[in-house]
């Protein structure tokens, strides 16, 4: 295995980087462990917050160069790439601003009133982060931001197609003033991860990726009794029960499906529409979605770029072809050209078809008709995933009632693309476990140490 930059828009092989040796990987863990023993235990929350603020500032200072890297590495449209850099900066700034407060001692009211007790939050040690290609900066920020604030040190294995953005992140941490070993980027192979997880100094591992990768890492974490956080796939429902502005609702639906060229774990993928609105929604949604033709990701007005690689496009095409072979009806905006994949809409997807339970990681939407609120909830929950969900209704009581019954880690009501640094992110079922972002993101890899003092 090697790390390589292959521009999905052109097919050009830009650069290749060698995978780290086992000896150098062991040395990287040594460096991170040494930094934890020294810097983590001697630095104050205020000092760590100041370093994180500098990381945020450097992301903004270098935003154009950083964005250009991921356009080349994974084909993200340039305006979305710039937005991702800005969001990463906002996450670091959020933890720089709020981290010291999150780490304050938490008093416990004693039942017998004799003496005092409190919770003190300490770092755990070295953490391993295994990150995906679809959001190269944001994924790292939501893991590294809170954990460096806590004082944990980090070994970061990025996706093999993102070596240059991975190196750029490492450089930012160095230039911000973090000591050697606080954040260590490694060009490691997946097969080398057991070596890291097995090290007793590594106290946690966070993975964002596929179900298969999550199962593999979770098994290793269990074997070595290591804390693990997983953010895996999603097939998020977009439930439409009522609307007073169909055009705005369709615009939201298209945005929720085409974000990151459809390659977002929590993108809306299954559109569940009450029968009285189904025909109008399907007609307008299909027209609007398929009108967004794939285009050059370097252009400012591009909404839909190439998929991340030719292999990703070929895999999505295979899924789509299989869905049609099994009886689904297809409306498509064109023919695939290399990694450029036209938006498509599937209807007549039934239980028993592969498409009914699969995640489509690209600009493919499945639209379903339902006759009632109850049927919508049942269909929304009939999936192995449980990451996010979207609910559109003009009835406030219905909104709360349905949101409460959706089996997902997140519910967005009458809004899409509204993630924030302060909002916890994560799922249930096969979408993973644990939370990132917000205050909960600073609660995963921390020793909540109870200290009881006699009266």
Q: Looking up tokens 């709360």, which residue turns up?
A: 400
What integer pLDDT is reported at residue 2 of this predicted model?
A: 84
- Which CATH fold topology does 236-418 show? Aldehyde Dehydrogenase; Chain A, domain 2 (3.40.309)
Q: 307 is written with which tokens?
A: 């998929």
> 146-177: b or e for each residue (b if 16 or more CB lie within 10 Å)?
bbbbbbbbbbbbbbbbbbbbbbbbbebbeebe
User: CB-based burial of residue 335 (10 Å sphere; 0-12 exposed, 13-18 middle, 19+ buried)?
Assistant: exposed
Domain ranges of the chain: 3-231+431-453, 236-418
pLDDT at 1 over 90: no
CA gap 126, 128 in Å, rounded = 7
Read off the pTM.
0.97
Sign of CA dihedral 386, 387, 393, 396: positive
> Other CB atoms closer than 10 Å to residue 224's CB: what's the count?
15
Per-residue confidence band for 126, with pLDDT thresholds at 50, 70 and 90: very high
188 with 20: CB under 8 angstroms? Answer: yes
CA gap 17, 23 in Å, rounded = 17
Sign of CA dihedral 283, 267, 416, 56: negative
Each residue of 226-245: pLDDT tens digit?
999 999 999 999 999 999 99
Rounded to the nearest integer, the mean pLDDT of the chain is 97
CA gap 58, 61 in Å, rounded = 5
Per-residue confidence band for 333, with pLDDT thresholds at 50, 70 and 90: confident
Each residue of 25-38: pLDDT tens digit?
999 999 999 999 99
Per-residue confidence band for 455, with pLDDT thresholds at 50, 70 and 90: confident
Q: 167 is written with which tokens?
A: 């190196």
Q: Among 410, 368, 378, which Cα is nearest to 391's?
A: 410
Each residue of 190-202: pLDDT tens digit?
999 999 999 999 9
Q: Give the DSSP letter of residue 37.
A: I
CA gap 285, 269 in Å, rounded = 13
Q: Is 118 helix (H, G, I), strand (E, B) or coil?
A: strand
CATH code at 3-231+431-453: 3.40.605.10
What integer pLDDT is reported at residue 113 of this predicted model?
A: 82
Per-residue confidence band for 353, with pLDDT thresholds at 50, 70 and 90: very high
CA gap 360, 358 in Å, rounded = 6
The DSSP result for 295-307, as a single string, is --TTSTT-SS---
Each residue of 375-417: pLDDT tens digit?
999 999 999 999 999 999 999 999 999 999 999 999 999 999 9
Positions annotated as catalytic residues are 231, 265
């Amino acid at each position: 295995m090697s790390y390589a930059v292959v521009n999905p828009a052109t097919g050009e092989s830009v650069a290749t980087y060698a995978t780290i040796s086992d000896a150098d990987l062991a040395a990287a863990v040594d460096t991170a462990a040494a930094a934890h023993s020294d810097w983590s235990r001697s630095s104050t929350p205020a000092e760590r917050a100041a370093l994180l603020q500098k990381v945020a500032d450097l992301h903004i200072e270098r935003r154009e160069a950083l964005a250009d890297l991921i356009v080349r590495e994974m084909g993200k449209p340039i305006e979305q790439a710039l937005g991702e850099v800005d969001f990463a900066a906002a996450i670091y700034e959020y933890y720089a601003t709020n981290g010291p407060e999150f780490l304050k001692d938490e008093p416990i009211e004693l039942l017998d009133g004799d003496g005092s007790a409190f919770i003190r939050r300490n770092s755990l040690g070295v953490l391993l982060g295994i990150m995906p290609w679809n959001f190269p900066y944001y994924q790292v920020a939501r893991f590294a931001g809170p954990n460096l604030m806590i004082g944990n040190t980090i070994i970061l294995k990025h996706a093999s197609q993102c070596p240059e953005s991975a190196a750029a992140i490492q450089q930012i941490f160095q230039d911000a003033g973090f000591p050697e070993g606080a954040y260590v980027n490694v060009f490691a192979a997946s097969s080398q991860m057991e070596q890291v997880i097995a090290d007793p100094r590594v106290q946690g591992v966070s993975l964002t990726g596929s179900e298969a990768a999550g199962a593999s890492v979770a098994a290793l974490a269990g074997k070595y009794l290591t804390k693990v956080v997983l953010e895996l796939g999603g097939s998020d429902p977009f439930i439409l029960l009522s609307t007073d502005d169909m055009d705005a609702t369709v615009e939201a639906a298209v945005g929720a499906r085409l974000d990151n060229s459809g390659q977002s774990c929590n993108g809306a993928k299954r559109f569940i529409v009450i029968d009285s609105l189904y025909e109008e929604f399907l007609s307008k949604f299909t027209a609007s979605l398929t009108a967004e033709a794939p285009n050059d990701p370097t252009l400012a007005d591009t909404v839909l770029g190439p998929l991340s690689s030719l292999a990703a496009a070929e895999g999505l095409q295979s899924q789509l072809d299989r869905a049609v072979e099994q009886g689904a009806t297809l409306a498509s905006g064109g023919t695939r050209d290399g990694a450029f994949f036209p938006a498509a809409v599937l209807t007549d997807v039934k239980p028993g078809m592969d498409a009914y339970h699969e995640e489509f990681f690209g600009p493919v939407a499945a639209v379903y008709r339902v006759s009632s609120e109850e049927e919508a909830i049942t269909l929304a929950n009939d999936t192995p995933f449980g990451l996010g969900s979207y609910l559109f209704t003009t009835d406030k009581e219905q909104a709360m009632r349905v949101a409460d019954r959706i089996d997902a880690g997140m519910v967005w009501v009458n809004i899409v693309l509204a993630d924030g640094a302060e909002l916890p992110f994560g799922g249930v079922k096969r979408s993973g476990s644990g939370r990132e972002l917000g205050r909960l993101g600073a609660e995963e890899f921390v020793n909540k140490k109870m200290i009881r003092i006699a009266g």
